[in-house]
Amino acid sequence: MGFGRDSAIALAVLLVFILLEFTGLRSAGLVDFAIRFATFGLLALSLNLLIGSAGLVSFGHAAYFGMGAYSFGLLMQTGAWSVPAAILAAVAMTALLALVIGALCVRLSEIYFAFLTLAFQMLLHSLILSWIGLTGGDQGLMGGIPKPPFLGVDLARQDHLAAFSLFCLVASAVALRQILRSPFGAALRMLRDNPDRAAFLGLSVFRYRLAAFVIAGSFAGLAGVLMSLYVSGAFPSFAFWTTSGEAIFMIMLGGVSVFLGPLVGTAIFLMLNDWITAVTEHHGLFLGIILLIIVLGLRKGLLDFAVEHWRARRGNQP
């Protein structure tokens, strides 16, 4: 029942968007926003599988975002790959990277975990910068990424790319939500709540955390693919710590405990960012102040706050 309902909602969202996009307002702004929303929304949503459900605060999630973008870009530049095949391969390569890094990180707890994930991300970032022959160094992956059409989808057109990105987002959201609803998801929450008792009941802390790490990394890789399609290239900043930081901000803005929280946070973050950059050069300063107000004022994300408020009101009624 839950999975069917989620799929129906996802399909409806996608149809409404396509209707709006192709028959209604053909606005370049909407198309552009939709692509960025899908890309960063997926990144934040995947990170929240670790933070919100498994209780693992990773500071290095952008490593998988960057890995997805570079793998996809490099595969497409060979000219031998179709878009869907390259996407699958890029996600698989990202999963492999997450498996290796995760195996070394998930044994550690809290602050050590956070910093080791950050260290591996910066290692990848340095590797991208210094392996100029493959990655183009700090110039990024230049020369554009060929996007041969497949199944009537031409990703070189921004409107097609927007619909495709949104499709990837809603399909991933449905999949992630099913993961959270499954016995595996329950095991992750047990490990977050009380790892000692969970282990006592027979759960392998290592295996479950590693699986969550790989799943989250894979979806971040898909987000990276969307990013490289959007900018038709790949840049070292994708794997820089600021990208991880932005994803964490989005989650903090929207909320960790509600599934759609990170998506709400992404929308707010992107809109704030666009609006502030239009007004002032010092956008970091203003964005930081707004984040501080939300974090110190509400002490939780907006959607966390709204849902708790609504539950409390409903609970008070006789």
List 158, 189, 241, 305, residue binding other proteins (CB under 8 A): 189
Q: Is 4 in the site for other proteins (CB under 8 A)?
A: no
List 126, 130, 139, 194, residue binding other proteins (CB under 8 A): 194
> Which of 229, 228, 288, 300 has the alpha carbon at shortest distance from 264?
300
Q: Is 179 in the site for other proteins (CB under 8 A)?
A: yes
User: How far apart, in Å, are the Cα atoms of 40 and each of 153, 192, 289?
Assistant: 22, 25, 21
Q: Which stretch binds other proteins (CB under 8 A): 139-147, 159-167, 195-203, 295-303?
A: 195-203
Rounded to the nearest whole angstrom, what is the least distance from the CB of residue 258 to other proteins in the complex? Answer: 13
Decide whether 184 or 286 has the Cβ nearer to other proteins.
184
Decide whether 182 or 242 has the Cβ nearer to other proteins.
182
User: How far apart, in Å, are the Cα atoms of 73 and each of 99, 137, 183, 225, 241?
Assistant: 21, 14, 36, 8, 21
Cβ-in-10-Å burial (0-12, 13-18, 19+) of 283 comes to: middle
List 203, 205, 306, 307, residue binding other proteins (CB under 8 A): 203
| Residues forming beta bridges with residue 141, ordered by sequence position | 234
Residues 6+ apart with CB under 8 A from 77: 141, 143, 145, 146
List 96, 123, 156, 199, residue binding other proteins (CB under 8 A): 199
Cβ distance 40 to 248 under 8 Å?
Answer: no
Q: Is 3 in the site for other proteins (CB under 8 A)?
A: yes
List 5, 26, 197, 309, residue binding other proteins (CB under 8 A): 197
The whole-angstrom separation of Cα 28 and Cα 35 is 11
Q: Is 190 in the site for other proteins (CB under 8 A)?
A: yes
Number of Cβ within a 10 Å radius of residue 61: 30
**Position 219, amino acid:** F
Q: Is 198 in the site for other proteins (CB under 8 A)?
A: yes
Q: Which stretch binds other proteins (CB under 8 A): 103-111, 113-121, 189-197, 287-295?
A: 189-197
Decide whether 18 or 175 has the Cβ nearer to other proteins.
175
Helix 110-130, helix 83-105: angle, nearest 10: 130
Rounded to the nearest whole angstrom, what is the least distance from the CB of residue 150 to other proteins in the complex? Answer: 28
Query: Which residues are near other proteins by CB under 8 A?
Result: 2-3, 178-179, 181-187, 189-190, 192-194, 196-203, 208
